[in-house]
């Protein structure tokens, strides 16, 4: 497993115009070389790999520890590859803040222009955001969502959330190819500074509560109204994450009435319902656990760190073969790119410095 840790404080401000312009040029050239040699599908695989993604950002000019790498790298790719879609076969939608909410419209616009089926892609965009904001409740509010896809309908997602209390970011990577389920261990990687105890409804061990919440959502509210009354008298063990807070029985009943009208057939259907969000999922998880004894998972699904983590083998060793391959792909693409010699040499030096600073120690 490729794991490690990194502390990534959020950085305010924007990349200087002169630097962002060069980032766009370099990002475009490297991406087009990779697409030309390996196809757009390989570009999706690379973007879904947090090691390669972080390496790519550092080559473009970021400090290794900058959390702003995610949003600016995606922005540079989106602007740099704009207009190349017909030849490259790679499309990029979404972005930071309000731009992220335009992702479905941007996907549909591309699909209309290039005769690509949009429905599945729009659904994938919405569900990846829904999972990381409602089914995985880890304290990070999503503020960036970038959706990459091809003419054949393959896709990947890079999105990021912010914890306003700690001032740190968490990055989520998705790869559509080979995805078995949106609601059971769906991520290709989640990058963060540390693990925590979270409500994880997409963990494999949460299968029971996914079934139970769907069942409760489909039942008539009167069937469990009397059980809800008991919530006033139930206490929580120390450290428990599922809490009702200031929500009352009336609100719970309203939730159940609305879900009953929808009659969801499974948890994914329930989660995909437009108005079902984090509070609804939390309420259903609360009822499932306190009344029916079906417990959710509190396991933090963080799998990977940013690329430099774990060089001393703690808490986990880095996958050296994958690390070397990530850097080599960028090095070859950079060598074949059409950027000027000066910019190419600077990028090569950044890559060499990044590699020397963050490669695992030899045994």
Summarised one tens digit per residue, pLDDT across range 31-42 is 988 898 889 999
The reply to whether 84 and 210 lie within a common domain is no
* Mean pLDDT to the nearest integer, 326-350: 68
In-domain check, residue 173: yes
345's tokens: 């040499």
Tokens at 14, concatenated: 């924007």
Residue 13 phi/psi, 5-degree rounding, is: 95, -175
Domain match, 220 and 270 both: yes
Q: Which of 68-72, 311-315, 341-345 has the highest mean pLDDT?
A: 68-72
Do 282 and 136 have their domain in common? Answer: no
pLDDT in tens, 231-282: 555 454 444 444 554 455 677 778 788 888 889 999 999 999 988 999 889 8
Q: Are residues 280 and 350 in the same domain?
A: no
**How many domains, in total, are found in the chain?**
2
Confirm whether 279 is domain-assigned: yes
User: Across the beta sheet with 141-150, what order do the strands follow?
Assistant: 90-96, 141-150, 155-163, 168-175, 189-191
Say whether both 156 and 99 belong to one domain. yes
pLDDT at 86: 93
More confident residue, 314 or 201: 201
* pLDDT value for 211: 96
C-alpha dihedral over 160, 303, 195, 170, to 10 degrees?
-10
Phi then psi for residue 110, to 5 deg, are -60, -45
pLDDT-derived band at 230, boundaries 50, 70, 90 = low
pLDDT at 321: 67
**Percent with pLDDT over 70 in the chain:** 72
Q: Which residues contact 281 (CB under 8 A, 6 or more apart)?
A: 134, 135, 137, 201, 213, 271
11 belongs to a structural domain: no
pLDDT at 359: 47
Tell whether 113 and 161 lie within a shared domain.
yes
Residue 363 falls inside a structural domain:
no
Give yes or no for a contact between 51 and 326, defined as CB atoms under 8 angstroms apart.
yes
Give the pLDDT score at 11: 57
Final residue before a domain boundary, out of 238, 270, 292: 292
Q: How high is the pLDDT of residue 83?
A: 94
Pair 323, 181 in one domain = yes
Helix axes 17-38 and 320-336, enclosed angle (nearest 10): 100
pLDDT value of position 312: 42
For residue 292, what are its two tokens?
């029916």
Mean pLDDT of 140-167: 93
Percent of the chain with pLDDT over 90: 42
Say if residue 179 is in the same domain as residue 32.
yes
Residues 183 and 246 in one domain: no
Q: What is the pLDDT of residue 106?
A: 98
- pLDDT reported for residue 153: 96
Q: Is residue 37 part of a domain?
A: yes
Range of the domain at 319: 17-195+302-358
- pLDDT of amino acid 293: 87
For the chain, give the mean pLDDT: 80
- Model confidence at 311, pLDDT cuts 50, 70, 90, reads very low
Higher pLDDT, residue 316 or 87:
87
pLDDT value for 322: 61
């Amino acid at each position: 497993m490729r794991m490690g840790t990194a502390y990534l404080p959020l950085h305010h401000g924007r990349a200087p115009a002169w630097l962002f312009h060069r980032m766009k040029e370099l990002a475009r050239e490297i991406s087009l070389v990779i697409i030309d040699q390996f196809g757009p599908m390989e570009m999706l695989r690379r973007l879904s790999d947090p090691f390669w993604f972080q390496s790519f950002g550092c080559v473009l000019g970021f400090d290794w520890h900058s959390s702003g790498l995610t949003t600016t790298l995606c922005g540079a790719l989106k602007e740099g590859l704009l207009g190349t879609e017909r030849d490259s076969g790679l499309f990029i939608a979404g972005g930071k803040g309000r731009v992220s909410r335009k992702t479905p419209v941007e996907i549909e616009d591309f699909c209309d222009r290039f005769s690509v089926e949009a429905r599945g892609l729009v659904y994938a965009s919405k569900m990846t955001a829904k999972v990381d904001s409602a089914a995985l409740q880890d304290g990070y509010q999503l503020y960036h969502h970038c959706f990459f896809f091809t003419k054949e309908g393959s896709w990947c997602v890079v999105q990021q959330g912010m914890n306003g209390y700690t001032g740190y970011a968490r990055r989520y990577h998705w790869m559509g190819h080979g995805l078995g389920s949106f609601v059971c261990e769906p991520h290709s990687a989640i990058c963060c500074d540390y693990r925590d105890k979270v409500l994880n409804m997409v963990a494999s061990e949460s299968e029971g509560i996914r079934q139970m919440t769907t069942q409760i959502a489909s039942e008539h509210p009167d069937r469990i109204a009397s059980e809800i009354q008991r919530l006033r008298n139930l206490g929580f063990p120390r450290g428990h994450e599922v809490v009702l807070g200031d929500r009352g029985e009336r609100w719970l009943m309203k939730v159940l009435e609305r879900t009953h009208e929808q009659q969801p057939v499974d948890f994914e259907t329930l989660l995909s319902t437009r108005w079902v969000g984090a509070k609804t999922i939390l309420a259903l998880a609360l009822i499932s656990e306190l009344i029916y004894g079906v417990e959710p998972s509190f396991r933090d699904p963080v799998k990977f760190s940013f690329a430099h983590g774990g060089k001393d083998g703690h808490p986990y060793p880095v996958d050296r073969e994958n690390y070397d391959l990530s850097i080599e792909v960028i090095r070859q693409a950079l060598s074949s790119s059409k950027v000027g010699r000066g910019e190419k040499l600077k990028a090569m030096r950044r890559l060499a410095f990044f590699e020397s600073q963050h490669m695992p120690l030899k045994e």
